[in-house]
């Protein structure tokens, strides 16, 4: 991997902060993939006209015609039996092949203790106390924090806030327990579901993978049943939360009448970098403590009390490309200190992954008017060799709410520009970054909780969650609200302070 020069501040130059222009090129194979998903999962769209024609024909029959058909069938027992058998067979095939609906019953986001709040000045002071950073590295961190979009009330684990910091396996486990059990306790309280009722458990944490695993820690703490289906996903970056949702969706298709719990988190304690490689220092400045727990169900009886229904999941993996594979890497520096290297190619790689993902997702969610405009310009450019730019669809016509992974201010700025989103659409992501920092895969749930606390989520609204992660991956999930969310009845990290948001975010907040 190409390491950035120490004299060049990572992610501060214009070239390294910009996503590629989505209008320059759109690969036709990803459009085909999107339409393949549409055809595979949307056969009812093609059967609907046939049903309408049959219904129209039946409506033209008079009472006399129906009587004649009945009399005719009375003397044709074989025809009646064959038609009945065909009807039963087709109905059976339909119900067996129909995907089970997946409902999001509720979710919870962990809010650490007040004693774990860390101001930007406090963060820099903790870095100075560690006595491992040079003055140049401390100044670099100050510049990153000033432009990061983070506020004065993010959270760090106790091991990092100690004087001096004392990270250890014991403290890392305590951080994981606080986050997971705190989020789960609140989730069980909200949903009134007993731990013994959980049939599927998926925990994702990219950088902390102890033995016994995090999922085993949850099973032991809550004494979950012995036949539970559990998974522990590691090393999959900030997009692992949506990978967990996709995995839970697939498992719920084959395990009827089941509850699935997904826990998304990151662990800071053992992954704080104490060296002076600038490409590894950026993660110290952006990542903060947090986590979320989500309860999913495929029980038809849960539809009435659930908040959302999962509509689509689309996963994009660019790991076959060496540049994409190496843009986020955990490795040692020249002095043997482990950290996560963020390549200067990261923004470009993220842009290409996002472009692939939305090109695949587009045919599944966009109205026909937008699809025709997009497909028409694509045909003109690819087949007719016309010198026109590909049409970037208006995704605001497909979604009411956007939850974009709060990975950093630069990423949010570029996505807002490329997808032509408004400040209102970007507000949940920007306020989450400001209030909680980059909480890795759980940031999407803090953003959705923000929209709920603002009273924005109405019945029928569609929400698009977008996440990026090492590998390199871009994943999407689409949810449809099953009811209007009343913020007065909600419990979330935002409720007590939502009246203070949104806040103005200057481009530079000097320390």
One-letter-per-residue 3-state SS of 30-75: HHHHHHHHHHHHCCHHHHHHHHHHHHHHHHCCCHHHHHHHHHHHHC
Q: Which stretches within 156-213 are classed as H helix? A: 158-161, 169-191
Q: Which two tokens stand for residue 363?
A: 């045919």
Structure tokens at 240: 């692992």
In this prediction, residue 355 carries a pLDDT of: 86
Catalytic residue (choose from 405, 418, 425, 475): 405
Q: What is the mean pLDDT of the chain?
A: 87
* pLDDT, greater one: 81 or 102: 102
pLDDT of the residue at 11: 39
Given this model, what pLDDT does residue 34 score? 55
Q: If you average pLDDT over residues 132-156, what whole number do you get?
A: 95
- Asked whether the beta carbons of 260 and 297 are under 8 A apart, the reply is yes
Query: Which residue has better confidence, 348 or 393?
Result: 348
The predicted model scores a pTM of: 0.84
486 is annotated as an active-site residue: no
pLDDT tens figures, 163-184? 889 999 999 999 999 999 999 9
Q: Which of 112, 102, 57 is nearest to 478 (CA)?
A: 102
What phi and psi, each to the nearest 5 degrees, are found at residue 109? -120, 135
Identify whether 401 is a catalytic site residue.
Answer: yes
317 is catalytic: yes
Residues 6+ apart with CB under 8 A from 491: 108, 186, 190
Residue 267: active-site member:
no
Residue 357, pLDDT above cutoff 50: yes
Catalytic residue among 401, 425, 474, 475: 401
Catalytic residue among 118, 238, 285, 474: 238
Identify the active-site residue in 232, 357, 438, 475: 438
**pLDDT at position 47 over 50:** yes
| Per-residue tokens: 500 | 């203070």
Per-residue pLDDT tens for 417-471? Answer: 888 899 999 999 999 999 999 999 999 999 999 999 999 999 999 999 999 999 8
Mean pLDDT check: name the lowest of 44-58, 65-79, 271-285, 313-327: 44-58
Interval 312-341 mean pLDDT: 93
pLDDT, residue 251, reads 97
Whether the pLDDT of residue 5 is over 50: the answer is no
Q: What percent of the chain has pLDDT over 70?
A: 85
pLDDT band, residue 10 (cuts 50/70/90): very low
> What pLDDT is recorded for position 332?
95
What number of other Cβ atoms are within 10 A of residue 437's Cβ? 28
Average pLDDT of the segment spanning 294-300: 97
* Position 362 confidence tier, pLDDT thresholds 50, 70, 90: confident
Catalytic residue list contains 405 = yes
**Residue 6 confidence (pLDDT) above 60:** no
Task: Summarize pLDDT for 175-224 with one digit per residue, the tens.
Answer: 999 999 999 999 999 999 999 999 999 999 999 999 999 999 999 999 99
pLDDT band at residue 15 under the 50/70/90 scheme: very low
Which residues are CB-contacts of 208 (< 8 A; sequence separation ≥ 6)? 172, 176, 214, 234, 266, 267, 269, 270, 271
In the chain, what percentage of residues exceed pLDDT 90? 66
Name the DSSP letter for residue 303: T
Residue 391 or residue 172, greater confidence: 172
Q: Which one has a higher pLDDT value, 99 or 76? A: 99
pLDDT in tens, 23-43: 555 555 555 555 555 555 555
């Amino acid at each position: 991997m190409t390491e950035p020069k120490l004299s060049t501040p990572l992610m501060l130059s214009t070239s390294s902060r910009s996503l590629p222009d989505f209008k320059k090129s759109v690969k036709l194979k990803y459009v085909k993939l999107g339409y393949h998903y549409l055809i595979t999962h949307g056969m009812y769209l093609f059967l609907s006209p046939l049903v309408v024609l049959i219904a129209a024909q039946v409506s033209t029959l008079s009472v006399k015609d129906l009587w004649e058909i009945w009399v005719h069938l009375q003397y044709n027992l074989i025809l009646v039996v064959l038609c009945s058998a065909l009807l039963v067979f087709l109905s059976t095939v339909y119900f067996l092949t129909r995907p089970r609906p997946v409902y999001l019953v509720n979710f919870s986001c962990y809010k650490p203790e007040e004693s774990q709040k860390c101001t930007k000045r406090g963060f820099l002071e903790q870095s100075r106390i560690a006595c491992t950073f040079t003055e140049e590295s401390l100044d670099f961190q100050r510049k990153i924090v000033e432009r990061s979009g983070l506020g004065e009330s993010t959270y760090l684990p106790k091991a990092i806030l100690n004087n001096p910091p004392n990270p250890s396996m014991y403290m890392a486990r305590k951080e994981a327990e606080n986050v997971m059990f705190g989020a789960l306790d609140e989730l069980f309280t909200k949903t009134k579901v007993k731990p013994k009722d959980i049939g599927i458990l998926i925990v994702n944490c990219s950088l902390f993978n102890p033995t016994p695993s995090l999922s085993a820690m949850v099973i032991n703490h809550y004494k979950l049943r012995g036949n539970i289906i559990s998974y522990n996903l590691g090393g999959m970056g900030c997009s692992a939360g949506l990978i967990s949702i996709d995995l839970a969706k697939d498992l719920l298709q084959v395990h009827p009448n089941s509850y699935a719990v997904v826990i998304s988190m990151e662990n800071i304690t053992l992954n704080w970098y104490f060296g002076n490689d600038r490409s590894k220092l950026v993660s110290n400045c952006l990542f903060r403590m947090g986590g979320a727990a989500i309860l999913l169900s495929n029980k038809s009886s849960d539809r009435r009390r659930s908040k959302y229904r999962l509509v689509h999941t689309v996963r994009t993996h660019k790991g076959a490309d060496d540049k994409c594979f190496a843009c986020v890497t955990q490795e040692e520096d020249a002095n043997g200190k482990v950290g996560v290297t963020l390549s200067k190619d990261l923004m470009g790689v993220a842009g290409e992954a996002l472009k692939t993902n939305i090109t695949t997702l587009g045919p599944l969610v966009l109205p026909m008017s937008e699809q025709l405009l997009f497909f028409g310009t694509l045909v003109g450019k690819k087949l007719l060799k016309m010198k026109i730019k590909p049409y970037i669809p208006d995704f605001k016509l497909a979604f009411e709410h956007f939850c974009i992974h709060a990975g950093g201010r630069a990423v949010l700025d570029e996505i807002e520009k490329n997808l032509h989103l408004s400040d209102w659409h970007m507000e949940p992501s920007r306020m989450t970054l400001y209030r909680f920092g980059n909480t890795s895969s759980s940031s999407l749930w803090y953003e959705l909780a923000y929209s709920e606390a603002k009273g924005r989520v109405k019945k029928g609204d569609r929400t698009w969650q977008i996440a990026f992660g090492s590998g390199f991956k871009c994943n999407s999930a689409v949810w449809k609200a099953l009811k209007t969310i009343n913020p007065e009845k909600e419990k979330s990290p935002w409720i007590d302070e939502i009246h203070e948001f949104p806040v103005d975010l200057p481009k530079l907040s000097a320390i």
